[in-house]
Amino acid sequence: MVNKVTVLGSLNVDTILKIKRLPQPGETMAMEAKKNAGGGKGSNQAVAASRLGAQTSFIGKVGNDENGRFMQEILTTAQVDTQYVSVSEDKATGQAFILLQASGENSIIIDGGSNQAITTDDIYQAQTKIEAADFLVTQFETPLESATLAFEIAKKAGVTTILNPAPAQEAPQTLLANVDLIAPNETEAEILTGIKVVDAQSQHQAAKKLQAKGVKNVIITLGSRGAYYLTADQKEGLVPAFKVQAVDTTAAGDTFLGALSSQLKPDFSNIEEAILFANQASALAVQKLGAVPSIPTFAEVSAQLNQ
């Protein structure tokens, strides 16, 4: 069965600046290269879900500018339904400026632009699309009020909700109460729970604290260590990451989320297999430069898993 995934999220044009390392305060440094690419956590996750086998739709907003048309084209090329991607006349399309170090690590500065102009009216207009989905996915690069309403609509319709709490911030209880799966990384888990995730005990404690906030299922992504999960029925485990040489980690987490939503069953019965698939997709993504350009296809992930 093909999963139907609707993503509410951000659309950004990424400007990638390749540098050897981060400059020190007051230091001037020459960059090694500059590149523009499609990005935004929402866009990345939607493209990943679509390329990896899901029937995918997007709810978002772009500016009336070249960047907006560029992002619309990226989604369309990836076979993502853009019926509910609207155009803001007074806000420019979102942008992200990525400082990419030689190590593959990155630092990102975001101008939200039209992403922050998504309103509850936009959510109501897309209500039928939300209700028809198997999964609704969102992040924190769009207004919380809109995300909260979208999740309320989804839960009333029996749609499984996935929250990627990034960029990290406190989440309102009204939103968390309607989250079936939350998927933070270690930093985001610490901000949400106050628990520093460093080992098996702390990752379990952080996940339990998130469940105490009303979230049913938890996945904490651990970078090169893999991903830890704790389900509503208290099944837990760690799925190791694949060892690769990272070139650019920009879309690693987004590729993981998109891949996961493309394979996960709404009852979470195959959560370990879905995480393994998502880990492999993420491992392929970090070996290429850019966000959207690095996201692999279903065939590429399957070929690696079947080796």
pLDDT single digits (tens) 271-287: 999 999 999 999 999 99
pLDDT single digits (tens) 181-217: 999 999 999 999 999 999 999 999 999 999 999 999 9
Q: What is the pLDDT of residue 250?
A: 79
For domain 4-23+31-305, the CATH superfamily is Ribokinase (3.40.1190.20)
Instruction: Specify binding-site residues.
Output: 12-14, 40-44, 141, 185, 221-226, 248, 250, 253-254, 279, 285, 288, 290, 294
Q: What is the pLDDT of residue 289?
A: 80
Side-chain half-sphere CA neighbours of 59 within 13 A: 31
Question: Which DSSP state fits 254?
Answer: H
Q: 170 or 295: which carries more pLDDT confidence?
A: 295
State yes or no: pLDDT of 222 exceeds 90. Answer: yes
Closest CA to 126 of 145, 150, 152, 157: 150
Instruction: Specify binding-site residues for K(+).
Output: 248, 250, 285, 288, 290, 294
Of these residues, 122, 134, 180, 254, which one is catalytic? 254
Q: What is the pLDDT of residue 105?
A: 86
- Rounded-to-integer distance, Cα 60 and Cα 88, Å: 10
State yes or no: pLDDT of 268 exceeds 90. Answer: yes
Of 76-85, 96-105, 107-116, give the range with the top mean pLDDT.
Answer: 76-85
- Rounded-to-integer distance, Cα 119 and Cα 37, Å: 26
Confirm whether 122 is a catalytic residue: no
Instruction: Specify binding-site residues for substrate.
Output: 12-14, 40-44, 141, 254
State yes or no: pLDDT of 108 exceeds 90. Answer: no
Encoded amino acid at 126, one letter: A
Of all helices (H) and strands (E), which one includes residue 137? strand 135-138
Average pLDDT (46-51) is 98
pLDDT single digits (tens) 12-36: 998 989 999 999 999 999 999 998 8
State yes or no: pLDDT of 171 exceeds 90. Answer: no
Instruction: Specify binding-site residues for ATP.
Output: 185, 221-226, 253-254, 279
pLDDT confidence bin for 118, thresholds 50/70/90: very high
Average pLDDT (172-181) is 95
Of all helices (H) and strands (E), which one includes residue 17? strand 12-18
Q: What is the pLDDT of residue 299?
A: 96
Q: What is the pLDDT of residue 246?
A: 87
Which residues is 306 bridged to in the sheet? none
- Rounded-to-integer distance, Cα 230 and Cα 252, Å: 21
Q: What is the pLDDT of residue 44?
A: 95
Encoded amino acid at 278, one letter: A
Side-chain half-sphere CA neighbours of 126 within 13 A: 30
- Domain-by-domain residue ranges, the chain? 4-23+31-305
